[in-house]
Amino acid sequence: MSSKTWSKWLLILLPIIAGAYLLWPTYNYYRMNQERDGLLGDSAAIESWDLANGEDFAKARNARLKLGLDLRGGMYVTLEVDILKLIEESADPLSVDEDFTNILEKTRAQTDNTDLDVLDTYLVNFRASGKSLLQYFPLSSSDEAKGGDPEKAIEEKLRNDAAGAVDQAMEVIRQRINKYDLSEVNIQKQGARRIAIELPDVKDEKEIRALIQTTARLEFKRVMMTRDLIRTFYAIDNVLKGVVAAEPVVDTTAVDSTATAKDTSAVAKADTSKKNANPYAGLSDDEVARRVKRDYPFSYMLTGLFAQSEKSSFQNFDLILKKAEDFPEQGIYNFVVSGTILPQFLKYLERADVKRAIPTDLDIVVAARPEGTPAKDGTPEFYNVYGVVREADLTGDVVTEAFPSFDQSSNQPMVLMEMSGEGGERWAQITGANIGKRIAIILDGRVYSAPTVQNKISGGSSQITGATSPEEANLLAVVLKAGALKAPVKIIEERVVGPSLGEDSIRRGVTSSLLSFALIVLFMLAYYAWGGGLADIALLMNVLLVVAGLAGFGGTLSLPGIAGIILSTAMAVDANILIFERMREELYAGKTLKVAIDLGFAKAWSAIIDSNLTNILATIPLLIWGSGPVRGFAVTLLVGAVITLFTAVVVTRAMFTLIAASGATTFNIGQKRTA
């Protein structure tokens, strides 16, 4: 074999070897994963398997071709730092007045659906009001010492806080998520204010949602479940009464016929036995339910437990047809709301008119997770509803350390929490003044735990008991630790692809893609005979190299990426067809095989390069400005078009050259036998 022939063989074989090498981890990963799954959750076997293969498995996993969330299932979340909340937080709470809130609200309205910089807009609005920043924001002692313009110093501090907020939030979220031993979580900074989180293989979606959604604003607030809270419930009823009825409800009778009708009708009956003044007496259950919902649009959602003292037993009660005065001022109250109506409940609480009806020192908050162990049979879950003192007694930044543990004596799970020196002193004051009372641990407005203070805690070291499972204690510890973060973030995009959809789409997508590809391969073979066979080899290489290229660059294959592969494959098919049609023309014109090959490639070349280059260049803006999915398309198209140029022109050509060099004078590319 001559050196020229050798180099042609290398041109054909080297890319195949390289492609196979890059895709080997992918194959390996799926083989090992299957083997591991085959152990069926036998933890001892999995442990020994991990010990033997863990390193190889992790290596294969890192180098494999990753599938996008749209193909494999998982969660995608985009968070944005809430700069206004940050500003509100930085202000001295005692100085906050109506003007301050108005400026914030105005800025919120201006920036909600625009691209304006929030902090800049705020500062402009603030200056326009003619107020001084110093009036609301504390000047740090170091800035004070430095002298200079205090207004500038405060502005500078706000800017720094805003800039640092994303990194801070990212770090905390990463730490929180890492605790959950999730594989391949991808957390990325997007622009200056956003964080994109991709979570494939989410095992406990609910928990992760809770964790991501909670934005690490940890507060300790005293629980205030008094008659005032009940009064507030009724006040909210009054606010909502007219408003809610005016909202279009598609089927009001159906609204109450399912979840709530049972409770409320039972209460209505119980009431008739006690009092005669029941306005709902004699009405059908459905009608009663409808009217209860009309008259008590808020309170009907709640059911409560009540005890005179800690020792007396709890009794169930309902707020319908009662007055706040029916309930004793002193007592232990407990309210729950069903998970099915929780979104509605929270929506009401966010209404401006409802907020106004709540006393300024009170806040109504809901538990982050349902009471007890989650029900699997679809029965509604109940969330505790708390009244708390609005002003936080302590914020989470004083927490320095928190970890789950077990109580030595009872072996119950618990959480140990450490606080900084200054925080510990305040904690001692608070706990000392509230022995026997409850303090709610609130993260992002949702209650994770509301332990009762047993005694004054000095030295900053606390034990929180009451967790029903080690998992619960673990979550509480994570929550407490997350408290060090001051930056409030909000979810602006959330996508969940259920694993069943992911599985189904992979299976059907792969099957149909393979069938499509087989169809093209057969067609080329039928139409261009041996030439088609050579083109098929080049096509197979094309797809192999695109996929291998993606795996090699650590890219992700998503649905739009498949579109990119389809397009680049179509262009590779087209390139081969262009070449063959040209070769046929030359053969029909009576040229020899060698000349026809040379001319065929030479003449097809300009069309192939121009069409592929046009596409390659067109991907550039898509790569720069396109959003996620569009970029996914552009990446595979770019890789595909470059590889098409290589396979169609270099590889197919090398194969034809080898045939011509072997001394063949005829070659069947499907042309008519006689020219």
Question: What does DSSP say about strands 394-395 and 194-200: parallel, antiparallel, or unpaired?
Answer: unpaired
Interface stretch with another protein, choices 9-17, 161-169, 387-395, 617-625 (CB under 8 A): 617-625
535-574: contacts with another protein (CB under 8 A): 559-560, 562-564, 566-567, 570-571, 573-574
How far apart (Å, rounded) are the C-alpha atoms in residues 480 and 240?
35
113-132: contacts with another protein (CB under 8 A): 113, 115
Q: Is 286 in the site for another protein (CB under 8 A)?
A: no
80-99: contacts with another protein (CB under 8 A): none
Work out how close the CB of 311 gets to another protein at its nearest, in angstroms, rounded to a whole number: 36
Judged by CB under 8 A, the residue of 391, 407, 422, 504 near another protein is: 504
Distances in Å between the Cα of 561 and the Cα atoms of 332, 512, 541 are 58, 15, 18
**Structure tokens belonging to residue 616:** 């390659």
For residue 211, give the nearest of 522, 11, 475 by alpha carbon. 475
Judged by CB under 8 A, the residue of 528, 601, 656, 667 near another protein is: 528
Work out how close the CB of 379 gets to another protein at its nearest, in angstroms, rounded to a whole number: 9
300 contact partners, CB below 8 Å, separation of at least 6: 260, 264, 292, 293, 319, 320
User: Which is closer to another protein, CB of 303 or CB of 644?
Assistant: 644
How far apart (Å, rounded) are the C-alpha atoms in residues 296 and 322?
11
Q: Is 17 in the site for another protein (CB under 8 A)?
A: no
130-189: contacts with another protein (CB under 8 A): none
Residues 254-283 vs another protein: string with x where CB under 8 A? xx-xxx------------------------
Q: Is 675 in the site for another protein (CB under 8 A)?
A: no
For residue 284, give the nearest of 269, 303, 300, 263 by alpha carbon. 269
On whether the CB atoms of residues 525 and 533 are closer than 8 A, the answer is: yes
Q: Is 445 in the site for another protein (CB under 8 A)?
A: no
Q: Is 666 in the site for another protein (CB under 8 A)?
A: no
Work out how close the CB of 167 gets to another protein at its nearest, in angstroms, rounded to a whole number: 21
User: Which is closer to another protein, CB of 462 or CB of 615?
Assistant: 615
Residues 463-492 vs another protein: string with x where CB under 8 A? ---------------------------xxx
E strand segments, 273-347: 302-307, 315-318, 332-338
**Structure tokens belonging to residue 13:** 């074989």
Judged by CB under 8 A, the residue of 133, 195, 225, 341 near another protein is: 341
**Can you state the angle between helices 628-644 and 593-625, rounded to 10 degrees?**
160
Work out how close the CB of 328 gets to another protein at its nearest, in angstroms, rounded to a whole number: 33
Judged by CB under 8 A, the residue of 625, 663, 665, 674 near another protein is: 625
Work out how close the CB of 487 gets to another protein at its nearest, in angstroms, rounded to a whole number: 18
On whether the CB atoms of residues 168 and 486 are closer than 8 A, the answer is: yes
On whether the CB atoms of residues 643 and 571 are closer than 8 A, the answer is: no
User: Which is closer to another protein, CB of 352 or CB of 625?
Assistant: 625
On whether the CB atoms of residues 460 and 427 are closer than 8 A, the answer is: yes
How many Cβ atoms are within 10 Å of 273's Cβ, its own excluded?
8
User: Which is closer to another protein, CB of 430 or CB of 649?
Assistant: 649
Work out how close the CB of 461 gets to another protein at its nearest, in angstroms, rounded to a whole number: 35
User: Which is closer to another protein, CB of 1 or CB of 250?
Assistant: 250
User: Which is closer to another protein, CB of 82 or CB of 393?
Assistant: 82
Q: Is 516 in the site for another protein (CB under 8 A)?
A: yes
Judged by CB under 8 A, the residue of 26, 78, 431, 449 near another protein is: 78
- Specify the DSSP class assigned to residue 133: G
Burial-class residue 258 by CB neighbours within 10 Å (0-12, 13-18, 19+).
Answer: exposed
On whether the CB atoms of residues 214 and 482 are closer than 8 A, the answer is: yes
381-410: contacts with another protein (CB under 8 A): none
On whether the CB atoms of residues 382 and 463 are closer than 8 A, the answer is: no
Q: Is 352 in the site for another protein (CB under 8 A)?
A: no
Work out how close the CB of 639 gets to another protein at its nearest, in angstroms, rounded to a whole number: 14
Q: Is 110 in the site for another protein (CB under 8 A)?
A: no
Residues binding another protein: number (CB under 8 A): 103
On whether the CB atoms of residues 431 and 455 are closer than 8 A, the answer is: yes
